[in-house]
Amino acid sequence: MGWLGAAIPEEYEGGGLGYEALCVLAEELGRAVAPVPFAASIALGAEAILAAGTEAQKREHLPRIARGETIATVALGAGPGEPTQARVQANLRDGRISGEAWPVPDGGVAGLAVVAARDGSGVTLVLVDLNGAGVTRTAIETLDPTDPQARLRFDNAPATPMARGWDAVQGVLDRAAVLIAFAQVGGASACLEMAAVYAKERHAFGRPIGSFQAIKHRLADVYIATELARSNAYYGAWALETGSAELPLAAATARVSASEAGFFAAKENIQVHGGIGFTWEMDCHVFYRRAKHLGLVLGSVRHWKDRVVSELEMRNAA
Amino acid sequence: MDFDDTPEEAAFRAEARAFLSANARPKDRRGPTARYGDTDEGDVGAAREWQRKKAEAGFACITWAKEWGGRGGTPMQQIIFNQEEANYDVPPNIFLIGLGMCLPAFITYAKPEQITRYVPPAVRGEEIWCQLFSEPSAGSDVAGLRTRAEKRGDEWIINGQKIWTSGAHYSRNGLLIARTDPNVPKHAGLTAFFIDMKSPGIEIRPIHQMSGASNFNEVFFTDLRVPDANRLGAVGQGWKVAITTLMNERVAGGEPRRPVPADLLELARLVPGEDGRPAIQDQAVRERIAEWHAQAAGVTYTRLRTFTALSRGETPGPENSIGKIVSASLQQQIASFGLDMLGMAGGVMDEALTPMHGLFQNALLSSPGMRIAGGSDEILRNIIAERVLGLPGDVRVDKDKPFNQQAGSR
C-alpha cells in the first residue's frame, strides 16, 4: 500500500507524503504492536540512506525499500553500551569491512545494512549487502520476540562508503528517535485504553475498580505522560520535516519522554489488570516487552537525557 | 500540526512587538524575580495603566468584540500577544481572574445592558473583578458552600464567609455563588450573583500565607443587600455558572513558573558538585535537568496543540488540566533540587549570599500553593480520569440528599 515508503521522496519512488504521514503510520504500528520491521527498515535504514547515502545509493536502494522488496537496517556497534563511537568494532580497509555488530534490529531478514566502521582516525558509515560474500548472521533471542535482532560477523565483506564522521551517525539516530517516539506513543496510548476499559469492567468490593482514586490517579498520570510525550514527538516531527536546527534537542527530548511514557504505560497496564495481566494469554506483556525494547533500540533513556543537557548547554553557551 | 506562523500571524506578531517595544522594557532574565509578594498600591496603579494602554491599542481581550473594548481578533492572535508580552517587563496581570474567568461567565448569563455597563470598564482595567466561590468548609468540594442568600422583596440578603479571594481588596466587582435553598441536594440549591465590592456589609481581611506574602483574602458578608437584577442565571442554577467559570480557569492557568529547567542548568554551572567540579558535570544532576526539561517542553507543546485546536474553532476540553498539574509540581521539585545543589547553604535566603537572588528558596515557599489553587492536583486527576478517560465517578454519599440533612452541613 506504499505505507513503508510514505516519507521517501517521489524521486526515489516513495510516497513523498512527508514525515507527518510517516509519524501517523508509526503511531498506528506502535498501537498495534505490529510485527513489521518498521524501526529497522524505515526509521533507521531508509532514513540513514536518505541522510547519509550518495545519490547513486539512494537511486539504487530507496525504491526497493519503498516497495518492500528490500529490508534495510543499521548496525552501529557491538555489545553492551550506548550508541557512541567507543562501541564501534568493525574496521574498514580498502573497501572491505571486518568485525562484529550486535544487536542489529531485523538483522536476520534485512538484505542491506548501514554499518558504522572505523577507518583509520575516525568513523564512517558504509553500505553492506547482507546477502553478499563475507557476511555471517546469527539470530539472537530477544526480550520482544516480535522485534527480532541478529549478530552480524563481517569478514572482508564488500562495503561502499557513505557519509563520514560521528555527526553523520548522530544525525541518523536523531531522525530515528523522532519516528520511533511515535511508535512508543502509540504503544502507550494502546496500554492506557486497555487499562481504562478493564478498569470500567472489572468489579471489586462492589464497584468498578476504575471508581477508586488509586486507579484513577494512576491512569491520569499515564495519560499526562503520554500526552506530554505526544506533544514532544509532534515537535520533533516538525523539526524533522522543516530541517530545523532544533532537531538534535527536539529528537532527544521526544525520545526521553516517549521512552519513559512507553514503559510507564505498559507497566501500569499490567498493574491495573492484576493477576490476569501477568498471563501469557493477555496482550499486556506484548506491550510491556515492546515498550522496553523500543526504549533500548537507540540507546537507553539515560544516554538521551545526557544528550538533552548537552544540547541545552550548547545553546546557553551560544 | 504547525509550529510556524502563517503570514497573517507573522504580521500580527510584528505589530505586537512594535507596540511592546515602544511601551515596555524587555525582561532581564538574570535580574531578580519579584519575591512572591504582595501586590501593593503602586503595582495596582501600574497594572491599570498598562491595561489601559493595551486596550487603547487593541491588545486587551483580543478575541472580544470591539464594542466591549476588545479587538474582534482570533484566539491565535491572543496567544501570539501573550507569547510576546512574556518577553517584556510588564506589571503583574491582576486582571486574569476577572477577564479570564468571571467575565466569560458573566457575559454568558448577563442581560445585554449589563454587558454594556460592566464589560468595557473591566477591559480597560478600570474595574477589577474577583471570584467569590471557596469557603472555609468548601474548598475542593465547592458545591458544599454555606453562604446564604435569602430573598426579601426585590433584594437578596447575603450572610456568610468566602476565603482565598485573590485581589478582593482592589476589586470593584465580585462574582458570588451563594446557597439559596438548603432543602434540596447541594448542587441544586446554589445561585450566582455579581456584587459591588464597595457595598456596606462586606469586610475584607488579608490572609498571611506560608510564603510571607498576602495574595488572598477572607471576605465576610453581614446582611449584604444585592438587587435581584444582579442575579446571573435562574435561581438554583449557580452550579452551572460556577462550572462555566472554572472551565475557563483551566484554560487561563498552567503557565510555567520559575525556576524552570533552564534556571536549574544555570545554577548547576554556578555551584560546585560533590567533587569540586561544577554540579553540571554530575550525571545525577544532568538526568534530573533532562527529565524536567522533557516535561516542561511537553507542557509547552501541549499548549500549542490546544491553541491549534482553538484556532480551528474547537472548544478546549478537560485535557487542559495537564498544564497546571505538571507545572505546579515541576516548580516545587526544581526548587527543592536547587536547594539540594546548594547543600549546606541551601537554606540561606539572604540575596547577597545566595545565587540567583534567592529564586529557588522563594519558589520552595510559594510552590505548595500552586498545587492547591485553581483545582488541586487530586481534583484535576479526577477530572482527567472521569472526563477524558471515562472512568466511573466515585461512590457518592452526598449527591442526592438535601443539603441540610448531610453530615457536617451545619
pLDDT per residue as tens digits for the range B339-379: 999 999 999 999 889 999 999 999 999 999 999 988 899 99
Q: Is B38 exposed, middle or buried (0-12, 13-18, 19+ CB in 10 A)?
A: middle
Whether residue A227 and residue B298 make contact (CB cut-off 8 A), yes or no, is: yes
In this prediction, residue A208 carries a pLDDT of 97
Whether residue B4 and residue A242 make contact (CB cut-off 8 A), yes or no, is: yes
Is A139 in a helix, a strand, or coil?
strand
Whether residue B301 and residue A217 make contact (CB cut-off 8 A), yes or no, is: no
Provide mean pLDDT across the span B93-102: 92
Distance CA A66, CA A46 (A): 9
Q: In terms of Cα–Cα distance, which of B34, B33, B31, B51 is closest to B93?
A: B51
CA distance A259 to chain B (A): 11
Which CA distances in Å does A215 have to A189, A283, B372, B384?
A: 17, 20, 21, 12
Q: If pLDDT is split at 50, 70 and 90, which confidence band does A36 have?
A: confident
Q: In terms of Cα–Cα distance, which of B94, B12, B22 is closest to B53?
A: B22
Distance CA B340, CA B338 (A): 5
Q: Is A238 on the interface with B (CB under 8 A)?
A: yes
CB contacts of A232 in chain B (<8 Å) are 294, 297-298, 301
Distance CA B368, CA B207 (A): 16
Whether residue A235 and residue B301 make contact (CB cut-off 8 A), yes or no, is: yes
> Could you read off the pLDDT of B250-278 as tens digits, one per residue?
555 556 789 999 999 999 999 999 889 99
> Could you read off the pLDDT of A103-126 as tens digits, one per residue?
999 999 999 999 999 998 899 999
Phi-psi region of B253 (alpha: psi -120 to 50; beta: other; left: phi over 0): beta
Distance CA B148, CA B38 (A): 31
CA distance B174 to chain A (A): 34
- Tell which of B4, B29, B301, B378 to mutate to test the A interface (max A CBs under 10 Å): B301
In this prediction, residue B255 carries a pLDDT of 67
CB contacts of A302 in chain B (<8 Å) are 287
Cell of B140: 475542593
Distance CA B331, CA B260 (A): 7
Handedness of CA B354, B373, B254, B249 (dihedral sign): negative
8 A C-beta contact, residue B224 and residue B202: yes
Q: If pLDDT is split at 50, 70 and 90, which confidence band does B32 have?
A: low
CA distance A188 to chain B (A): 14
- Tell which of B376, B384, B394, B395 to mutate to test the A interface (max A CBs under 10 Å): B384
Residue B87 has pLDDT above 80, yes or no: yes
- Looking at the structure of chain A, the number of domains it has is 1
CB atoms within 10 A of CB B303: 19
Strand partners, B145: none
Cβ-Cβ contacts under 8 Å between A and B: the total is 131
Give the helix/strand (H/E) hosting A114.
Answer: strand A112-119
Is A316 in a helix, a strand, or coil?
helix
Q: Is A213 on the interface with B (CB under 8 A)?
A: yes
- Tell which of B281, B295, B305, B307 to mutate to test the A interface (max A CBs under 10 Å): B295
Q: If pLDDT is split at 50, 70 and 90, which confidence band does B2 have?
A: low
Q: Is A201 on the interface with B (CB under 8 A)?
A: no
Distance CA A138, CA A102 (A): 10
Residues listed for chain A: 318
Q: If pLDDT is split at 50, 70 and 90, which confidence band does A1 have?
A: low
In this prediction, residue B312 carries a pLDDT of 72
Q: Is A259 on the interface with B (CB under 8 A)?
A: no
Whether residue A253 and residue B378 make contact (CB cut-off 8 A), yes or no, is: no
Is A243 in a helix, a strand, or coil?
coil
Residue A10 inside a domain? The answer is no
Whether residue B384 and residue A316 make contact (CB cut-off 8 A), yes or no, is: no
Is B409 in a helix, a strand, or coil?
coil
Residues of B that are catalytic: 249
CB contacts of B287 in chain A (<8 Å) are 302, 305-306
CB contacts of B326 in chain A (<8 Å) are 224, 228
Residue A56 inside a domain? The answer is no
For β-strands A72-75 and A207-208, DSSP reports them as unpaired
> What is the predicted ipTM?
0.92
**Angle formed by the axes of helices B283-311 and A301-317, to 10°?**
80
Q: In terms of Cα–Cα distance, which of A122, A225, A211 is closest to A167?
A: A122
- Nearest CB to A232 within list B289, B298, B390: B298
Residue B410 has pLDDT above 60, yes or no: no
In this prediction, residue A198 carries a pLDDT of 98
Q: What is the DSSP letter of A45?
A: I
- Nearest CB to B384 within list A212, A220, A234: A220
Q: If pLDDT is split at 50, 70 and 90, which confidence band does A17 have?
A: confident
Q: What percent of chain B has pLDDT over 70?
A: 93
Distance CA B145, CA B179 (A): 7
Residue A272's domain comprises 168-317
> Could you read off the pLDDT of A85-107 as tens digits, one per residue?
999 999 999 999 999 999 999 99
Cell of A288: 510491556
Q: In terms of Cα–Cα distance, which of A55, A152, A146, A161 is closest to A111?
A: A152
Across A36-45, B192-201, B248-257, which has the greatest mean pLDDT? B192-201
Residue B144 has pLDDT above 60, yes or no: yes
Distance CA B86, CA B80 (A): 10
In this prediction, residue B245 carries a pLDDT of 84
Q: Is A216 on the interface with B (CB under 8 A)?
A: yes
Q: What is the pTM of this model?
A: 0.92
Whether residue A231 and residue B298 make contact (CB cut-off 8 A), yes or no, is: yes
Whether residue A215 and residue B391 make contact (CB cut-off 8 A), yes or no, is: yes
Residue A295 inside a domain? The answer is yes
> Could you read off the pLDDT of A255-295 as tens digits, one per residue?
999 999 999 999 999 999 999 999 999 999 999 999 999 99
CB contacts of A224 in chain B (<8 Å) are 322, 325-326, 384
Q: If pLDDT is split at 50, 70 and 90, which confidence band does B41 have?
A: confident
In this prediction, residue B167 carries a pLDDT of 94
Residue A41 inside a domain? The answer is no
Rg (CA), chain B: 23
> Could you read off the pLDDT of B368-382 as tens digits, one per residue?
999 998 889 999 999
Provide mean pLDDT across the span A202-221: 97
Q: In terms of Cα–Cα distance, which of B3, B311, B319 is closest to A20?
A: B3
Q: At B81, which amino acid appears?
A: F
Whether residue A238 and residue B1 make contact (CB cut-off 8 A), yes or no, is: yes
Give the helix/strand (H/E) hosting A164.
Answer: strand A149-164
- Nearest CB to A216 within list B291, B304, B382: B382
Q: In terms of Cα–Cα distance, which of A99, A294, A65, A314 is closest to A188?
A: A294
- Nearest CB to B293 within list A192, A211, A308: A308
Per DSSP, helices labelled H in chain A are: 19-31, 47-52, 55-67, 166-201, 213-242, 247-273, 284-294, 301-317
In this prediction, residue A139 carries a pLDDT of 95
Q: If pLDDT is split at 50, 70 and 90, which confidence band does A155 have?
A: very high
Mean pLDDT estimate for chain A: 95
Q: If pLDDT is split at 50, 70 and 90, which confidence band does B389 have?
A: very high
Backbone torsions φ then ψ of B65, nearest 5 degrees: -60, 150
Residue A24 inside a domain? The answer is no
> Could you read off the pLDDT of A239-259 as tens digits, one per residue?
999 999 999 999 999 999 999
Strand partners, B174: B130, B195
Residue A258 inside a domain? The answer is yes
Whether residue B395 and residue A312 make contact (CB cut-off 8 A), yes or no, is: no
Provide mean pLDDT across the span B191-214: 95
CATH code, A301: 1.20.140.10
In this prediction, residue B48 carries a pLDDT of 97
Q: In terms of Cα–Cα distance, which of A237, A234, A199 is closest to A219?
A: A199
Across A304-313, B32-41, B255-264, B399-408, which has the greatest mean pLDDT? A304-313
Residue B404 has pLDDT above 60, yes or no: yes
8 A C-beta contact, residue B401 and residue B185: yes
Residue A173 inside a domain? The answer is yes
In this prediction, residue B375 carries a pLDDT of 87
Whether residue A224 and residue B390 make contact (CB cut-off 8 A), yes or no, is: no
In this prediction, residue A58 carries a pLDDT of 97
CB contacts of A198 in chain B (<8 Å) are none
Residue A199 inside a domain? The answer is yes
Provide mean pLDDT across the span A22-46: 89
Q: Residue-wise over A33-48: b if at least 16 C-beta within 10 A, else e?
A: beebbbbbbbbbbbbb
In this prediction, residue B325 carries a pLDDT of 93
Whether residue A200 and residue B262 make contact (CB cut-off 8 A), yes or no, is: no
In this prediction, residue B4 carries a pLDDT of 76
- Nearest CB to B3 within list A208, A235, A312: A235
Residue of A nearest to B320 (CA): A224
Q: Is A220 on the interface with B (CB under 8 A)?
A: yes
- Nearest CB to A234 within list B1, B283, B382: B1
Distance CA B48, CA B26 (A): 19
Q: In terms of Cα–Cα distance, which of B164, B105, B115 is closest to B138?
A: B164
